[in-house]
Structure 1
């Protein structure tokens, strides 16, 4: 389990100046290999990346936290994919949108919120619930944080606690992800993200503006984790029967299906879909985060990869990273 070509592709990200540093994990069945290379920070001074450092994993929150709790509720019959969002969130007026639409990003919810990042949490909540459904509804997959923000609020209605609190004690703690949290206590152990005019150097606090406002009630971003903890999560996906109370096996095994209304968008519940050719042609699930993170999980081959960077440090969005990220994924899928 060495993956020399994939590691070389990771090193090129550093030598080409695409990212400051990389933490990674390769999972093969019950074996995990972790490593790191490069720097944790470039400003205010260079800082070497240390083993076990904690990353703001951004939208990985959607699949690690919010989706996991949602699958539990689906397995328990407390929630159905056909449930209307408006039945759980009465302030949302469009009765066409269902849980399935939220989970597959086919809700078509759009709209502009003036001064969004400066709003207080109650005002942002009200503004999000006043958004509308556009022409892509039920036809096209359009990735949007609002889907998982709504999903988090629905989970809160069912369980009576904020989504991040629910994810901590229903997913992270029982899986033994002991360094994963929504409230880091030691900013120095966290890899910093961007430097912004409003907030300065962001370190140990969520980078995502909506997550920063909504805090515990945000189901789309806010999780901090390590390569080792996320490897533990991936391993649980490979063997969900061992953690059936956390990741319901019946649902986990169905996540390689395209769950969108057209079944042609390469999107599952939560996860994006891609293809692997080994041991035979089959689907693989993956998800990324804005800060420069992603997970790739091949359930059939019992293999997975965790990739963590802070590509938004010191400034976002660092668009050249996106092509390089996809190239690394392609290298990994071909090499494994």
Structure 2
């Protein structure tokens, strides 16, 4: 595996000097142009036809400091609504649709968890948060978590035993939502993996308690502002790709066609800022995020984590990040690749072994949610893995 010095460079002072991303050819990036051409063609196919995988998508692939492809396909807004009688979207007239562009922001859904995890590891690096400390040490009023000895590491690795979610969207007010979280006890065996949004919601409360700042401020000040990720923020985000005509019974609330407001019902009930969902971002900004992690936490003049703490974040089983998961990474999995998916159709994968990243953002829930299908993500990961050339 290339060293940080080889892939990111060092300045004359010996400090890491990370070149900013720039667009260049696949060949310059050390990627096979034919595999990349096929990948772009396959992503175009995903948005075509009467029942496409997604209404639109943005694809960004890079290696080292080079962005080899940045492609937008399909529609950011294609449908006015969903018709349950025909089980099809009601198409907008062509002149009322909104084309996808490379700068279109997406509702990141669970990719938000990655930013919450980085914010937590920043506090671990500073010594204000213990990775194996009990949540009850920071949140004694969260009675069930304290009683069952849930730890910070368990929240970050989804091994707390907490159930996947709670119906916070059905609560009358914030006080009732908070009381549900405080009283929620594990239903699974602590130490065994059970993916749960509640882990990141509890972690949000821990971070806000120990810092005295809200999660949106922590992520902005500690991650997105220093990295220059100006298009990444919690909603509202009026220009974002549309998501769902959100109505019961297929959804958990009746909100109509959503665009620029968070899709996740619990994040919406919490005001749009939540540890598990709520961020909006673009393909380019996520490429910067990937590049910073591949370069040991630095990008340009900024550093958001030290290399040892990036290694802690990405080492199996991963803190917030999933590691080596073929179901959405394809053949990129197997050498320490890390990433995540989001319910709205978002995903990213970074591969430290080859200094390569893949961002595939799609609005797969437009006009309504369906059974998630990550086969196109896995196929994209396989294309990128096969494109990598020896440097």
State the TM-score, normalized to the length of structure 2: 0.77
Alpha carbons of structure 1 residues 299 and 113: separation in structure 2 relative to 1, 3 Å: closer
Deviations 1:292-326 (A, max 9, x none): 0011001121110111011111101x225333333
Q: Which has the higher contact order (CA 8 A, sep 6+)?
A: 1
Alpha carbons of structure 1 residues 114 and 214: separation in structure 2 relative to 1, 3 Å: closer
| Residue aligning to 2:57 | 22
Alpha carbons of structure 1 residues 113 and 176: separation in structure 2 relative to 1, 3 Å: closer
| Residue aligning to 2:292 | 236
Can you give the 5+ residue segments of structure 2 that lack an aligned partner in the other structure? 1-25, 27-32, 81-91, 248-253
CA-CA distance at 1:127 after TM superposition:
0.7
Give SS of 1:240's match: coil
Aligned pairs for 1:129-168 (under 5 A) are 129-139=182-192, 141-168=193-220
Larger Rg, first or second structure (1 or 2): 2
Alpha carbons of structure 1 residues 320 and 331: separation in structure 2 relative to 1, 3 Å: farther
Does 1:283 pair with 2:336? yes
Alpha carbons of structure 1 residues 136 and 323: separation in structure 2 relative to 1, 3 Å: farther
Does 1:39 pair with 2:72? no
CA contact (8 A) 2:102 2:282 kept: no
CA distance in 1, matches of 2:268, 2:333: 43
CA-CA distance at 1:168 after TM superposition:
1.2
Q: Say how many residue pairs are matched.
A: 323
CA-CA distance at 1:112 after TM superposition:
7.5
Deviations 1:72-118 (A, max 9, x none): 11111111111101111112233421000000000001287567445
Deviations 1:114-136 (A, max 9, x none): 67445422211211221111233
Can you give the 5+ residue segments of structure 1 that lack an aligned partner in the other structure? 259-266
Deviations 1:132-188 (A, max 9, x none): 11233212x111100001111100011101112211111111110011111345x1x
CA contact (8 A) 1:19 1:321 kept: no
| Residue aligning to 2:128 | 78
| Residue aligning to 1:207 | 263
Deviations 1:187-213 (A, max 9, x none): 1x2111101232111111111111111
CA contact (8 A) 2:60 2:283 kept: yes
CA contact (8 A) 1:181 1:224 kept: yes
Give SS of 2:117's match: helix
CA contact (8 A) 2:122 2:305 kept: yes
| Residue aligning to 2:14 | none
CA contact (8 A) 1:255 1:285 kept: no
Q: RMSD across aligned C-alpha pairs, in angstroms?
A: 2.4
